[in-house]
Amino acid sequence: MGFEQFGIISFTGTTKTEQFVEFLKANELKGTVCKECGAKYFPPRSDCSACLSDQMDWFPIAGEGTLISFTKAMFAPAGFEKDVPYMLGVADFADGVKVFGRIDRSLPDDVVKPGMKVKVRAVDLGSDRLSYELTKA
């Protein structure tokens, strides 16, 4: 099993970054960092567009981030209808790394706002599927 396990519906079966899913199983969210020039990428990439290297290491998205923006979706695209409402957001982490994803649905509406301190965590979706989300730090 590989990358098709990522997310509620995966549209990508094969990628050189499929180890991402193995890290999620260990409750770790990881991006890649170029061994040649040090450029950091999230979401992870297997090729460095800064120096053209294909030599990448993994690094953890750890610590606190800051929520930049979010939305609560009341409608969903095909295949996600039973999930609504759900929140999507984007947050700033160290070194200019940004993370986009779902926001913890157990958080009350009045808590989720831009500026909120957040952390990432892996989510077991069941049926051998995994994802990650942003939750309150």
Binders of other proteins among 71-130, rule CB under 8 A?
A: 71-81, 83, 86, 88-90, 97-102, 114-115
**Any contact of residue 52 with other proteins (CB under 8 A)?**
no
3-state secondary structure the chain: CCHHHECCCCCCCCCCCCHHHHHHHCCCCEEEEECCCCCEECCCCCCCCCCCCCCEEEEECCCCEEEEEEEEECCCCCCCHHHCCEEEEEEECHHHCEEEEEECCCCCCCCCCCCCEEEEEEEEEECCEEEEEEEEC
Q: Does 9 bind other proteins (CB under 8 A)?
A: yes
Q: Which one among 22, 28, 68, 107 touches other proteins, defined by CB under 8 A?
A: 68
Is residue 70 a contact point for other proteins (CB under 8 A)? yes
- What the block records as the tokens of 99 is 């993370």
C-beta closer to other proteins: residue 53 or 92: 92
Q: In the complex with other proteins, which residue's Cβ is closer, 10 or 53? A: 10
Check binding of 19 to other proteins (CB under 8 A): no
Contact footprint for other proteins (CB under 8 A): 3, 6-12, 15, 42-43, 68-81, 83, 86, 88-90, 97-102, 114-115, 131
